[in-house]
Structure 1
Amino acid sequence: MTTNPEPELGPAPGAEKHAHAGSAGTNDKSGEPRAEDRSRAGRPGAIGMGEGDAGVGGGGLPRTSTDRDEDRLARVALTWLVEPGNRTVWGLVQQGGAAATLDLLLRGDLPDGRLRAAAAARAAVGDARRFAEAALRRGEKLGARVVVPSDPEWPGRVADLARLELRTGGRVNQDTRPPLCFWVRGGLPLDEAFERSVAVVGARAATGYGTHVAGEMAYALADRGWTVVSGGAFGIDAAAHRGALAAGGRTVTVLACGVERPYPAGNVALFERIVECGLIVSEWPLGAEPLRHRFLIRNRVIAAATAGTVVVEAAARSGATQTMSRVLALSRPALVVPGPVTSAMSVGCHAILRGNPYARLVTSADDVLEEVGRIGEYLSERPRGPDRRRDALDEESALVLEAVPRRGTSTPEELAAAAGLDLRTVLRRLSLLELAGLVVRREDGIALALDAL
């Protein structure tokens, strides 16, 4: 028996340029599958076959082990054919399963011309199923696994992306549906890593102030048992990962490329440490390049998979502010660290606080935990200065004490005039102040005690 050689996992020349062309995946303003697609549900071989769709349970989930293997392979193939988050593809998978959706895309049996063209362009440079098979085999060798919704470790929070609607235009802002699968490196269960997690994101060109705050905050969060999630970039992301690792805690990097080629390459040593203590996660299959638009697609996962997101520094236009738009749309805690008003790296942070009443200003891990924890789980005292004995004085006693000169002495009559009180009241208050150790009586009048200043 002859065997065909395994296809290369990296894209063919020019293939990546076609990959994002179908990310819109819609044929109307709503972005949902057209009624024409849904009407095919009763026809054999069509998406959404219902009772006749052997092996596929509700929501497109497989029933048997063989079906699960086919489902896993089909989901990998679909993320190679079409960019993650595509509304139409996700909807078709929900209706009839990943394997049937893959067949539909490969046949070109789609009313959406843009999606059909994107899938055809990808299919022209390689066989989607053979690619997925080769990717899964290579993933096993590299210690990378594929997690799908039928797996016990699938993170439940990402399902909220099914209801995410953004008012801004553009395919990236419309194709925000849940992932079809995750590639994962690291030993932690994916759902456990995300269960108590906080994202810490921000500018790549971070200032010393920003990296210090991100590192300290991540350290404190990890030290209290929370997973710190970020994107692995230079600047704030790297500082957050390092802070969590320094605390001996868990951290997760969500990439916009294949997990075997973490980006940026300058953080390769950091990524190796993350694999040992946390996870490296991506929706894209092995070999996928870190293209610009993929970072924007990736950000919806960071927003949805975590209990809340903290942005430490962000310029006026940045990926961090885009992530926060998704956090706010999902009604998750959107937490912002303020910065110097003179810093360009804090302009985006201040704009979020000014323009969104639901964004919360935070300055410490305690503030963050109060927002993301369960009600009453983390109650921290508001910051205040040191207690002083004069803080407990009533109003009249405080007026008398203020009237006592810092140097020298005053008579009760002089104090009454200065405080605007009658002499009898002043004499009563002086007795209380003397008992409190704030004033002393001398032969020539009343003076402040040495430790009252």
Structure 2
Amino acid sequence: MTTPTVTALADERLARAALSHAVEPGDEHAGRWLRQYGAADFLGRLLAEGDGNPSAPFPGTGPKRIASWRLRAASARPAHDLDAVHALGGRFLVPSDLEWPGQLDDLGDARPLGLWVRGPADLRTWALRSVALVGARACTPYGAHTAAELAAGLTQKGWAVVSGAAYGIDGAAHRGALAASGATVAVLASGVDNPYPRGHDQLIQRIAEQGLVLGELPPGSHPTPSRFILRNRVIAALTRGTVVVEAQHRSGSLVTARAAARLGRHTMGVPGPVTSALSAGVHELLRGDATLVTDVEEIVELIGDIGELAPVRRGPVLPRDLLAASTARVLEAIPAGGPTPATVIARRAGTTPDDTLAKLYELHSLGFVVRYGEGWRLTNTATEPSNARRGGT
């Protein structure tokens, strides 16, 4: 296998930087020609005249799409864009770089042409242990609190939290990770020099200092509705699983979750009130193949290594829970109220009088029953847990 020369790598980087200006994120037509020709050759063919036939170098791709590529490619200034990101202390990653996260290759021809990145961390190593936390922009206080707590807990267990820097759940997740001095990655639908939303300018700047800010679009690019949707596939592919905290039926976070499922990643949802429209989309996911999670341990059990199991959840152990089944059956047969003869208790329990008497004295020694003449009655030790278990009925 021939090792690419420094010049070839520079040419590839420059060509991909130009193509990131010419081609919209996730364009599989462009991805197919990029795979076939390579970045520099694809760009060269794109800028050629095409012998009078605009579709000549790219059979099967519509002339309008090719014309759009050519128009943008002609106005691209890749060297200027690379200088701009370097001035921010950032870099432009291409698939041949060691820092490139290999899991993005799962996107096939929809794989990013490259990634514009700001921040001190190594993206490839962070992505190896990363989880996406996404959800509604107009979230409830419950959703914001849950997202922040999950993000903080995940980073304390060594996981990087990835989200989209939007208002609501995204912002809460990033803040939770930052507050815990943890790792967080913001994937933007704009240029990394053009933070969006504007209200998160300081938050995104803080993420760039402590974590990573990245996007597919070159410096100066503005977000559009379609770019937000296409950005979500990168969040899904980059991480080992996606957690949706709150989402309505029509929500971009559900797009992320479904993209994660298609890529074979874990899809998880945090339940909310059944009366909340903001949790309706999450509940719909949970009715499908998504897994219900309520805390960090349950998330890590799914996406972590073998043996990272969530603790077993159970209610408090009551004294009567420790009784043998036959003894518990006799205890359940004793009615509340006045003393009851052992023969009646035996009949109710479906055992013999002798076995019943033996169990009654066992229960007496444990403080569950007392004897009154020829009858037996329950003590408070027996009645209070029983009432609690029966819901007061």
Residue equivalent to 1:161: 107
Residue equivalent to 1:118: 68
CA contact (8 A) 1:200 1:237 kept: yes
CA contact (8 A) 1:230 1:253 kept: yes
Indicate whether 1:401 and 2:334 are aligned: no
CA–CA separation in structure 1 for the residues paired with 2:239 and 2:41:
31
| Per-residue CA distance 1:330-373 (angstroms, 9 max, x = gap) | 1111111222221111121122222x3x3212122111111111
**Match for 1:438 among 338, 361, 368?**
368
Shift of 1:374: 2.2
CA–CA separation in structure 2 for the residues paired with 1:370 and 1:225:
14
Unaligned runs of 5+ in 1: 1-56, 163-175
CA–CA separation in structure 2 for the residues paired with 1:391 and 1:108:
83
**Match for 2:114 among 178, 181, 205?**
181
Residue equivalent to 1:145: 91
Residue equivalent to 1:371: 302
| Per-residue CA distance 1:191-228 (angstroms, 9 max, x = gap) | 01111000011110111221122112112111100000
| Per-residue CA distance 1:251-290 (angstroms, 9 max, x = gap) | 0000000011111111122112212221001011000001
AA in 1 matched with 2:290? A
CA contact (8 A) 2:21 2:73 kept: no
CA–CA separation in structure 1 for the residues paired with 2:146 and 2:4:
48
Indicate whether 1:69 and 2:19 are aligned: no
Indicate whether 1:229 and 2:229 are aligned: no
CA–CA separation in structure 2 for the residues paired with 1:123 and 1:182:
18
CA contact (8 A) 1:147 1:183 kept: yes
Give the number of aligned pairs.
374
Map residues 304-319 of structure 1 onto 2, 5 A cutoff: 304-319=237-252
Change (3 A) 1:274 1:444: farther
Shift of 1:72: 0.8
CA–CA separation in structure 1 for the residues paired with 2:320 and 2:20:
67
Shift of 1:403: 3.3
Shift of 1:135: 1.0
Shift of 1:443: 5.5
Give the TM-score normalised by the residue count of structure 2. Answer: 0.89
Change (3 A) 1:421 1:117: same
Q: Which secondary structure does the structure 2 equivalent of 1:139 belong to?
A: helix
CA contact (8 A) 1:75 1:98 kept: yes
Q: Which secondary structure does the structure 2 equivalent of 1:212 belong to?
A: helix
CA contact (8 A) 1:108 1:116 kept: no
| Identity, % of aligned positions | 47
CA–CA separation in structure 1 for the residues paired with 2:40 and 2:22:
13
Shift of 1:441: 4.1
Residue equivalent to 1:344: 277
AA in 2 matched with 1:94? R
**Root-mean-square deviation (Å):** 2.0
Residue equivalent to 1:361: 292
CA contact (8 A) 2:18 2:73 kept: no
CA contact (8 A) 2:346 2:352 kept: yes
Shift of 1:437: 3.5
Unaligned runs of 5+ in 2: 51-56, 385-393
Shift of 1:433: 1.9
CA contact (8 A) 2:19 2:73 kept: no
CA–CA separation in structure 2 for the residues paired with 1:409 and 1:187:
76
Residue equivalent to 1:85: 26
CA–CA separation in structure 1 for the residues paired with 2:137 and 2:39:
37
| Per-residue CA distance 1:32-86 (angstroms, 9 max, x = gap) | xxxxxxxxxxxxxxxxxxxxxxxxx78xxx7011111111111110010111222
Residue equivalent to 2:390: none
CA contact (8 A) 2:297 2:311 kept: no
